[in-house]
Amino acid sequence: MYIAIEGIDTAGKSTQISALSKHFPEAVITKEPGGTKIGRQIREMVLSACTKSKRAEFLLFLADRAEHIQEVIEPNLDKMIISDRSVISGVAYALIQGEIKETAIVHLNRFATGGVYPEKVFLLRLSKEELEFRLSQKELDGIELRGSEYLLNIQDAIIEAAKLLNIELIEVDATGSIEDITNEILVNINTPQG
């Protein structure tokens, strides 16, 4: 089963992936962007905010996604795959940019992934107050420097992206305890799709 943990920066994706890896010790743990050698280079470029063109940034994410699907996801589809972000984030960020038509975003992502999408996606959802508190506690990267309103718009766009791609999205309150969040994800992993 291929699942993805989604959420804006500071939502607790890494913490949950670490917890889930204890429940699925044989799982393939990956991330997007940056789950491959080329992907790590692309991730550095994007996080350093060196691209001036939002279209260039979008195309870099697509290149990472294509490589990630071919190198990591497809060879392991018979195993449990837990990914930190997925195509959902890519579509969400592109929707926010507003420079590319919705249909083009969907088609280009389908091209990059070959139509291979996560079976279930978990969105760790944050309130504005909790997000702003968490951001105040850390050094910000290029994306986080865009501010809490930008990140909350991304959170809304993640929900929209899942609808556009017809992927099951399960929203989880990211302000709960680590254990409660993990348990909610585990229950939903074991629940047949509907």
pLDDT at 42: 87
Domain 2-189: which CATH number of 3.40.50.300, 3.40.50.150, 3.10.180.10, 3.40.50.360: 3.40.50.300
Q: Domain segments of the chain: what residues?
A: 2-189
DSSP-based three-state secondary structure for 1? coil
pLDDT at 155: 95
Per residue in 35-61, pLDDT (tens digit) is 999 999 988 887 777 778 888 888 998
Cα distance between residue 115 and residue 158, in whole Å: 18
CB 32 within 8 A of CB 67: no
Region at 62 (left for phi over 0; alpha for psi -120 to 50; beta for the rest): alpha
User: What does pTM read for this prediction?
Assistant: 0.90
Per-residue burial over 37-74, b if 16 or more Cβ lie within 10 Å, else e, is ebbeebbebbeeeeeeeeeebbbbbbebbbbbbebbbe
pLDDT at 144: 65
Structure tokens at 156: 């809304």
Higher pLDDT: 33 or 159? It is 159
Mean pLDDT of the region 131-137: 85
The dihedral over CA atoms of 123, 186, 137, 8, expressed in degrees to the nearest 10, equals -10
pLDDT at 50: 74
Structure tokens at 75: 């060879």
Q: How far are the Cα atoms of 46, 139, 152 from residue 156, in angstroms, in the given order?
A: 21, 24, 6
Of 44-58, 67-81, 169-183, give the lowest mean pLDDT range.
Answer: 44-58
pLDDT at 194: 54
Confidence band for 158, pLDDT divided at 50, 70 and 90: very high
Cα distance between residue 139 and residue 153, in whole Å: 21
